[in-house]
C-alpha cells in the first residue's frame, strides 16, 4: 500500500507541475487555460504568480506525511519490489519534475514586468456575463451586476489585513484608474473583519478614486460571490491570513467580463481599458 501511495503521489505531482509550467498557446483547450488560471494564476511570462508557486508546493507536505506515517513500510516494499536500486527509482519522477521546473524558470523572461509594457495587441478578449451577486458598498448601497453597467471597470478581490498581495495590487489599480478614469470595484476576501461599516475607512486607507466601490456583506453571500468569480483562496484559521491570487477582471460598459488577468501591470490594465468602447 505504501509503495502504491508513493506512486500515486509521484504521478499526481508530475501532472501538477506540468499543469502549472507547461507552455501552451491561448488557442489551447479553454478548460485547460481556465483550470491553470484558477489554480496557479499566470504572469505575462507564462510562469505562476505568487499564489501559484504556493499551490505548486502543495505536494511536498503530502510526501512528508507519507514518509512519517508509512516510511518504514515504503522502504520495505521498495526493497522487495525494486531491489537495491529502489532509492534511485523512487526519485526519478521528483528529480525530473525539479529539473523541468528549474529549466522553465531559467528560460522564462524576467518576472518583473516593466510598468510601461503594454498588453499585446492580439491578446484575446472574452465576453462573459457577470455572475449574479448582491453585496453592499461603503456608502450602504446595494450593488449587483446592474450597478456595474455604464463604465469600464476594474474588478478585483482584496482584504484590509493583507500585507502581501493586496498593497501592491491596490497601487497598480490606483495608477491605472488614475490614467484611464476607469472605476475600481473591490470585493472583500474577509467579510468577517471587513464588515460593511468598515468599508469607508478602508477606501480611504487604500486611497482609491472617489468613484470606487468596496463591497462586503453577510459572510455566506460574500463567499458565494467569491466562488461565482472563481476566486480560490485559503484561510489560515490561526492568523486569519488569506492566501489568494491577484485576480483582476476588466468589465466593459455593458457590464460584461472582457479580460481576466492575474497580477497585471498597470500598462496591461490601461491597454485593456483603451481597447473597450466607453
Residue 250 lies in a domain: yes
Residues 92 and 132 in one domain: no
Task: Encode pLDDT of 14-35 as tens digits.
Answer: 988 888 887 764 445 666 766 7
Neighbours of 137 (CB within 10 A): 21
Cα–Cα distance between 97 and 54 in angstroms, integer? 16
Phi, psi angle pair for 16, to nearest 5° = -60, -45
Cα–Cα distance between 136 and 145 in angstroms, integer? 12
- Give the position of cell 523541468: 100
Of 192, 194, 172, nearest in space to 267 by CA: 172
Task: Encode pLDDT of 206-229 as tens digits.
Answer: 988 999 999 999 999 999 999 999
- Average pLDDT taken over every residue of the chain: 86
pLDDT mean over 173-180 = 92
Taking a C-beta distance cutoff of 8 angstroms, is the pair 186, 276 a contact?
Answer: no
Residues 257 and 184 in one domain: yes
Q: What percent of the chain has pLDDT over 70?
A: 89
Could you tell me the pTM of the whole model?
Answer: 0.64
Amino acid 115: pLDDT? 46
Task: Encode pLDDT of 80-138 as tens digits.
Answer: 888 878 788 788 888 888 888 888 878 766 544 444 567 887 788 999 999 999 999 99
Domain that holds residue 18: 2-107
Residues 141 and 232 in one domain: yes
Cα–Cα distance between 128 and 250 in angstroms, integer? 11
Neighbours of 261 (CB within 10 A): 23
Residues 140 and 52 in one domain: no
What is the DSSP annotation of 17-50?
HHHHH----TTS-HHHHHHHHHHH---TTSS--H
Taking a C-beta distance cutoff of 8 angstroms, is the pair 169, 198 a contact?
Answer: no
Amino acid 111: pLDDT? 46
Residues 27 and 75 in one domain: yes
* Of the ranges 164-168, 188-192, 263-267, the best mean pLDDT one: 188-192
Among the three residues 107, 137, 169, which one is the final residue of a domain in this structure? Answer: 107
Taking a C-beta distance cutoff of 8 angstroms, is the pair 186, 214 a contact?
Answer: yes
Is the model's pLDDT at 192 over the cut of 90?
yes
Residue 123 lies in a domain: no
Of 63, 122, 74, nearest in space to 97 by CA: 63
Would you give the end-to-end CA distance of the chain in angstroms? Answer: 61
Task: Encode pLDDT of 56-71 as tens digits.
Answer: 888 888 888 888 888 8
Residue 120 lies in a domain: no
Q: Residue 262: which CATH number?
A: 3.40.30.10
Residues 97 and 132 in one domain: no
Among left, alpha and beta (phi > 0; psi -120 to 50; other), residue 30 is alpha
Amino acid at each position: 500500500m505504501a509503495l502504491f501511495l508513493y506512486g500515486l503521489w509521484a504521478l499526481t505531482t508530475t501532472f501538477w507541475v506540468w499543469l502549472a509550467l507547461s507552455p501552451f498557446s491561448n488557442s489551447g483547450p479553454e478548460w485547460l487555460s481556465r483550470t491553470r488560471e484558477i489554480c496557479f494564476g499566470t504572469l505575462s511570462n507564462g510562469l505562476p504568480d505568487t499564489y501559484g508557486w504556493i499551490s505548486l508546493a502543495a505536494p511536498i507536505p503530502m510526501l512528508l506525511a507519507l514518509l512519517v506515517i508509512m516510511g518504514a513500510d515504503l522502504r520495505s516494499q521498495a526493497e522487495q519490489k525494486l531491489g537495491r536500486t529502489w532509492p534511485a527509482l523512487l526519485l526519478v519522477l521528483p528529480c525530473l519534475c525539479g529539473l523541468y521546473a528549474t529549466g522553465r524558470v531559467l528560460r522564462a523572461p524576467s518576472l518583473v514586468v516593466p510598468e510601461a509594457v503594454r498588453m499585446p495587441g492580439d491578446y484575446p478578449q472574452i465576453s462573459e456575463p457577470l455572475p449574479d451577486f448582491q453585496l453592499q458598498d461603503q456608502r450602504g448601497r446595494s450593488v449587483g451586476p446592474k450597478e456595474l453597467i455604464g463604465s469600464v471597470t476594474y474588478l478585483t478581490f482584496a482584504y484590509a489585513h493583507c500585507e502581501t498581495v493586496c498593497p501592491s495590487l491596490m497601487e497598480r489599480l490606483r495608477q491605472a484608474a488614475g490614467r484611464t478614469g476607469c472605476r475600481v470595484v473591490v470585493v472583500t476576501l474577509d467579510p468577517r473583519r471587513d464588515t460593511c461599516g468598515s468599508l469607508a475607512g478602508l477606501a480611504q486607507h487604500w486611497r482609491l478614486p472617489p468613484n470606487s466601490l468596496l463591497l462586503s456583506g453577510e459572510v455566506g453571500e460574500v463567499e458565494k460571490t467569491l466562488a461565482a468569480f472563481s476566486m480560490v483562496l485559503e484561510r489560515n484559521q490561526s492568523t486569519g491570513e488569506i492566501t489568494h491570487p491577484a485576480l483582476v477582471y476588466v468589465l466593459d460598459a455593458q457590464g460584461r467580463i472582457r479580460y481576466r488577468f492575474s497580477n497585471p501591470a498597470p500598462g496591461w490594465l490601461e491597454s485593456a481599458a483603451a481597447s473597450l468602447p466607453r
